[in-house]
A and B are shown apart, each in its own frame.
Chain A
Amino acid sequence: AQTVTQSQPEMSVQEAETVTLSCTYDTSESDYYLFWYKQPPSRQMILVIRQEAYKQQNATENRFSVNFQKAAKSFSLKISDSQLGDAAMYFCAYRSPDSNYQLIWGAGTKLIIKP
């Protein structure tokens, strides 16, 4: 069975600086999707970025980028130029290409932005 591990329960960063959130996973599959979701306080969970396992190029969305290391089964999220609005719970998730489409989640990392 697949598992996702986020080893940092909480991280803090100074506004305008860069922070990296860690995520590792375990799977025997060769094709899959990885996601980072963000849940601001009292708000909906939204997709930040996703990565297809068969793509070697790391995904990037504006200030958000990932470092995808398939052999190491690592999928970290880098947030550049951190802003106050980035404060949220960040969840790493895995999805298998089988018929279920269910997401398998990490425990989350609470990101605090210091002004």
Chain B
Amino acid sequence: EAGVTQFPSHSVIEKGQTVTLRCDPISGHDNLYWYRRVMGKEIKFLLHFVKESKQDESGMPNNRFLAERTGGTYSTLKVQPAELEDSGVYFCASSQDRQGWTYEQYFGPGTRLTVT
């Protein structure tokens, strides 16, 4: 079974540019999460999809961030325009049916975003 995959693994962009991160969850996982770790700090929750619906986007920092999950499969996270403080590692995770809240979240390898 393939794990959670993320693309790209590393992105370097200039301030003001746009970047789109992609996450492919484990097949059959309805729940998809985005997290971010800014250098040296704790990992922060960004948002949670259940299928194609945004269940919780309370962690999204501002309206420069747009997450989508068309068809309830893969998800994209777009940052437009990117700022220096957006640099960090963006993690995606997926889990099974939300009714079983004990279900483990499986993580992707992360995308390291560097804004210069």
B-contacting residues of A (Cβ < 8 Å)? 4, 33, 37, 42-47, 50, 52, 91, 93, 95, 97, 99-108
Contact = CB atoms under 8 A, between A and B. Distances in A.
Interface in B79-115: 91, 95, 98, 101-102, 104-105, 107-110
Given A37-B107, A52-B102, 13 more contacts: A42-B109, A43-B109, A44-B3, A44-B108, A93-B43, A95-B101, A100-B48, A101-B33, A101-B48, A101-B101, A102-B48, A102-B56, A102-B59
**10 tightest CB-CB pairs across the interface, nearest first?**
A105-B43, A45-B107, A102-B45, A107-B42, A100-B56, A105-B42, A44-B109, A47-B104, A44-B107, A106-B42
Contact of A101 (B35, B98, B108, B109): B98
A108 B109 contact: no
Contacts of B43: 91, 93, 103, 105, 108
Residue of B4, B43, B108 ringed by the most chain A CB atoms within 10 A: B43
A105 B44 CA distance: 7
B55 interface: yes
